[in-house]
Every structure is written in C-alpha cells, then in structure tokens.
Amino acid sequence: MDSRVFFERFVLGLFLILMLFVSVFFLGKHFLRSSNDFTREIRPVMGSYMTITAYFSDQKYLKKSIDEAFDEIKQVENIMSPFIETSELSILNKAAKPGRYKVSDHVWNVLLISDRLNKETEGAFDVTIQPLYNLWKMAEARNKIPTDEELRNTLKSIGWDKIVLHHRSKEIEFTVPDMQLTFGGIASGYAIDIIVNSFRESGIKNFLIDEGGDIFCSGQPGTRALWRIGVKDPLNKSRVFKVLEFKDMAVVTSGNYERYYKIGDSSYSQIFSPKTGLPVKQTVATTVIANDTITADGWSTSLMVLGVDRGIEILKNRKDMHALIISSDNGKLTIKSTPGFSNYEKKDVQ
C-alpha cells in the first residue's frame, strides 16, 4: 500500500470516528433532555387548579401543547360548569321539564359514561342529584336541616331511570318535572382524559395531570420508572397516609371532609345518596386507581355512597380497577381495599 492510499484511508477513518462521536454526543444530549427537561404549568380551571407536569425534549413544542390543552379544558368548562349561566349545562337545567333536548358531543359523551357508571354502581352514581344540592344549600342558608317532606318531594325529581337517552339524535329526555343535572362527579376526570389523549397524539408520553386531586400519570418522571402519589390521611390532611407508585393510570381520592354544609353545630357532607337524599356519614374517604380518570372519578364518589362492604364486594373481581375505602363508626376507623390495591403501595414509607 503506498503512502498516499494509507493517508487517504487514515483521514477517512479519522473522519468516520469524528462523525460517530458527534452523533453519539447529540443523540445522548437529545435523550438526556427528553428524560430530564420538564415544564410545569398551574392554572385555575373548573373551580380548582390544574397542574400539568410534562417531560419532552422540545420545550417550545411542549409549551404550545400545554397551552392548547388548557384552551380545550376551558371549552369543556364553558359547556359543563353550573356556575356559568350561558353554559350548556345551565341552559339544560333551566329548560322546561318534561322535555327532550339536543346536546353537544361533550355532554353526550358524559351522559353515556354516566349511564354506564349508574349501572355498574347499582345506582350510587347519579348525575340527576342537582336538586339535592339546591335543597341542602337552602337548608344551610336558613340554618335548618330539610324536613322529611322536603326530601320526599325533592327525590321525585331525582333518578337516572327518569332519563331517556335517544342515541340516534343525541338527545336527552327528562320525563318528570324539575329535573336538573350535575357533572361535578366526573367533569374533572373527563377533562383530564381529553388532555391525556391529546398529549399522546402529539407524541408527549411522560406527564402528570392533577386537577383538584384527580390525577393521571403517563410514562415516567425523568429517570425514575414510576410516578409517586401521596394519599393524605383523611383525619389529618397534613400527613401522608399512603404513597402509591404507578404509571399510565389514574388515581382519584374523594372524602366527606372536603366539602360540606354547616347547619347548626353539625357539618353535612356534600356527597349524597340518590336513594335517601341524605349526606354520606360513615364513609370517610375513598381512593380509586383505574385505567382512565373519568372512571376513577365516578367510582371514588360512588364508593362513598356504597360504603366499605358493598363497594369492596362489587369491585373484588375486577382487574381494571383497585380501591381503598375508609369508614368511621363512632370514631373507629375501618380500612379495606380490593385485592390488587396493595400492588401499587410503596412499602418503605416512614
């Protein structure tokens, strides 16, 4: 081999090694950024605050996706909020009853899920209980609990069996007077699931969305394999009761201590039994892990109504959902969970 050929091959080899080094450097930098660079946004939505934490290599693209997500949630809020007079929900609630009304795709989707949850929970989940909120709010204002007669009259306007869904036309029919809807039990979960689908379609895989305690975790947080979520002690909210570890699932906690009516010297939960019209007493808190947020959201409220024994009995054979239920009887706590719940508990929590 003459010196010229040797020199050319030497230069070519040196060039290839240099190119390999540059490629490894930039690829390594890219993967390092995609695992460690994150953005966190906290904004007021739906009467609470939503926190989005996401990891992605292109921060400009991520920021744009988060802005678009919040815009989409605002649209859902404008449709489903009971506090916006022009929302579709407010207009439906003011409409004449009995009556049949066309609804938007968002409302229709929530109604279909409400129908499924009502059947699965033996009627414990019921979006027609808005008249109970109205009654107990009035009772708080006058500082006197509702009478038996007031409860009986209000219950006449409550019941998912009094609703007819017309699938071909996407219409809801109210069959008795004075019916009203509330989506407070699943609106947050529905909104979060919209963002989850949007992010995944955009190629964003590693993120956490938290809206008032309704949480969905996707992928992984930086270099750690699983997300960690603390569940607060229902009797001491400054203390973490359990730490859960998981990914690509939702977790929602409900409690009778979160929102309540104050009447006289007593506090009454804002979670009601659709059958009796009375606030939940014995069930203190529930935590549900599920594949999507709207299911976890609806079930966490429903288990408050069903109680420990019936709730665990219904869910014990389900593999797609796991729950923990805490109840109190004369100050004595009872804590039970479905068989698979412990698989998500971090064991070495102090």
Which tens digits make up the pLDDT trace of 219-230?
999 888 999 999
Please check the confidence at residue 18 and state whether its pLDDT lies above 80: no
Output the pLDDT for position 35: 46
Average of per-residue pLDDT across 20-32: 34
Question: What is the percent of the chain with per-residue pLDDT over 90, rounded to a whole number?
Answer: 70
CA distance 204 to 196: 9
DSSP states of 208-220? EEEETTEEEEES-
Output the pLDDT for position 36: 53
Output the pLDDT for position 223: 87
Average of per-residue pLDDT across 163-175: 98
Mean pLDDT of the chain: 87
Q: What is 226-344's CATH topology? A: T-fold (3.10.520)
Neighbours of 320 (CB within 10 A): 12
List CB contacts of 320: < 8 A, sequence separation 6 or more: 290, 291
Output the pLDDT for position 29: 37
Which tens digits make up the pLDDT trace of 74-126?
999 999 999 999 999 999 999 999 999 999 999 999 999 999 999 999 999 99
Q: What is 93-174's CATH topology? A: T-fold (1.10.3980)
Burial class, 198, CB count within 10 angstroms (exposed 0-12 / middle 13-18 / buried 19+): middle
Please check the confidence at residue 168 and state whether its pLDDT lies above 50: yes
Tokens of 203: 């190629």
Which tens digits make up the pLDDT trace of 132-156?
999 999 999 999 999 999 999 999 9
pTM of the model: 0.86
Helical ranges in the chain per DSSP H:
3-36, 59-80, 88-94, 105-120, 130-142, 148-155, 187-201, 293-306, 308-315
Burial 226-261 (b: 16+ CB within 10 A, else e): bbebebbebeeeeeebbbbbbeebbbbbbbbeeebb
The H or E element containing residue 162 is: none
Output the pLDDT for position 332: 78
Please check the confidence at residue 240 and state whether its pLDDT lies above 50: yes
Confidence at 348, pLDDT banded by 50, 70, 90: low
Comparing 135 with 347, the larger pLDDT belongs to 135
Please check the confidence at residue 306 and state whether its pLDDT lies above 90: yes
Comparing 140 with 38, the larger pLDDT belongs to 140
Q: Which of 251, 253, 254, 255 is nearest to 344 (CA)?
A: 251
Residue spans in the chain of domains classed CATH 3.10.520.10: 226-344
Please check the confidence at residue 23 and state whether its pLDDT lies above 70: no
Please check the confidence at residue 4 and state whether its pLDDT lies above 50: no
Average of per-residue pLDDT across 337-344: 93
Output the pLDDT for position 276: 94
Least confident of 66-70, 135-139, 253-257: 253-257
Comparing 232 with 253, the larger pLDDT belongs to 253
Residue type, 197: N
Output the pLDDT for position 258: 67
User: What are the phi and psi torsion angles at 43 (to 5°)?
Assistant: -140, 150
